[in-house]
Amino acid sequence: MLRVAVISAVALTMLTLTACNTVKGLGRDIESVGQAGENAL
C-alpha cells in the first residue's frame, strides 16, 4: 500500500512540474510574439 502511495506521489509531482514548464513556455511564446509585433511597428 505504501509503495502505491509513493509511486502516485512521484507521478503527481512529475505531472505538476511538467505543467508548470509548459505554461511558462507558453508565456514566453506569447511574450515573444508581442515583442515581434512591437518591433514591426
pLDDT at 23: 74
Cα dist from 39 to 15, 19, 20, 27, whole Å: 36, 30, 29, 18
> What is the rounded CA–CA span in Å between residue 9 and residue 27?
27
Over the chain (41 residues), the average pLDDT of each successive run of 10 is 87 80 79 79 70
Cα–Cα–Cα angle for 25, 23, 7, rounded to 5 degrees: 115
Please report the pLDDT score of residue 36 as a whole number: 78
Answering whether pTM is above 0.75, one says no
